[in-house]
Chains A and B, each alone.
Chain A
Amino acid sequence: MSELASEEAVSPRLQEFQREVEDLKVTGGRANPERAWMIVGAIAMVAGVALTLIGWVSTGGTSNTGDFADFAAMARFGMALTIAGSALFTVMSLRRWFRFWLVRLVYELRDQADRVTGR
């Protein structure tokens, strides 16, 4: 509890408000959470491509079957990472774009409603 409750001069309504605020379930969420996921997606894409290339080059330079299998697995993991990163990046980009599009749609509808009602 903050020190507000201890203040004698605080009105009952304000005390009630403070209680309600204390009980609020707050996610701490920020605007555009997609941005962070877009960055994660981009990093995954780049890392995936790098792993795939390293795996591909390394498989060509080894005659040991065990090493070959390890490098091939690394390359496959890199490809999977690239695909997952690309998907994440695309989905989050679309979410950002649709959010902006929705805001614009709401404002246009409001504008249209104003014109209809003659405001």
Chain B
Amino acid sequence: MTTATPVLELRNVRAGYGTIDVLHGVDLVIQPGQVYALLGPNGAGKTTTLGVCSGQIRPSAGQLLLCGREVNGAGSDALARAGVCLVPEGRGVFPNLTVTENLRMFTHAGTPFAEVRDQAFAQFPRLGERRNQLAGTLSGGEQQMLAMSRAIATNPAVLLLDELSMGLAPLIVEQLYERVAELARGGLSILIVEQFVQTVLGVCDVASVMLHGRVALTGNPQDIARDATAAYLGTTV
């Protein structure tokens, strides 16, 4: 499903930390219901791009648009309430709260706690077994499952996933991406940031490769799978 107005768009965005620019003019367009994979090596600016999309980092130039409206300067809390959900790299949970207490925190969008808990335990039965365990003592995969529960429970319109596979066993990664594919089938627009190309290309509609703070390559997953290695090594673009 595509419409003339993208659900999320970056136009020539420049952003960074303090005085250091990391993004040097990023253009990106995500249509409603699309799964968009943003690939690239360490330090390419992928996480910073997600920071801009979620309102955590303000662009120093360029535009962030949601449904065609420029929202530069909108706070991350306002965007989260509107329906932009970020699952950050391995840090989407409160480590000093139990699994149940974390799930209680996910009710900020108005979903009743019982519904959040039931959905989370139905999607990830492992969390049910660990309900009274501190989130900080869960394995990496279980923490990602807990973070994903937030994405499922809060019914977002745009989901931003940062390095879902980082440090996880392939079986767990496969399980998590199955959930992502299910969410995508429900019409959710998803921006996935990944370092490992093959992990994500099976579930995305469009993929881009980022290098040195710029989008160097964009295309369908098959083309990207073919050209990504060369792009990573800097022999194209």
Which residues does A use to contact B, with CB under 8 Å? 2-4, 7, 9-11, 13-14, 16-18, 20-22, 24-32, 96, 99-100, 103, 110, 113, 117, 119
Contacts and interface: CB of A to CB of B under 8 A. Distances in A.
Given A29-B73, A31-B57, 7 more contacts: A2-B5, A14-B187, A28-B72, A100-B17, A100-B18, A117-B137, A119-B140
Contact of A22 (B60, B69, B73, B155): B69
Contact of A30 (B7, B59, B79, B158): B59
A40 B200 CA distance: 48
Nearest to A98: B18
Most buried by B among A13, A22, A31, A99: A31
A28 B82 contact: no
Contacts of B59: 30-31
A13 B155 contact: yes
17 contacts: A2-B67, A2-B68, A3-B3, A3-B68, A4-B4, A17-B66, A18-B67, A20-B81, A25-B78, A26-B74, A28-B70, A28-B72, A28-B73, A29-B58, A30-B58, A31-B16, A31-B57
B67 to A, nearest CB: 4
Interface string B77-118: 011011100000011000100000000000000000000000
B71 interface: yes
A110 B90 CA distance: 11
Contacts of B5: 2-4, 7
B90 A119 contact: yes
Given A14-B187, A16-B83, A99-B18, A31 B60 contact: yes
B74 A24 contact: yes
Contacts of A16: 83, 157
Please report whether the interface of chain B is mostly helix, strand, loop or mixed according to DSSP: loop
Interface of B: 1, 3-5, 7, 15-19, 32-33, 57-61, 66-74, 78-79, 81-83, 90-91, 95, 136-137, 140, 155, 157-158, 167, 187
Contact of A17 (B18, B58, B83): B83
B60 A11 contact: no
Contact of B4 (A3, A27, A100): A3
A24 B95 contact: no
A26 B70 contact: yes
Contacts of B140: 119
A21 B72 contact: no
**Interface hub of A3, A4, A27, A96 (most chain B Cβ within 10 A):** A4
Contacts of A2: 5, 67-69
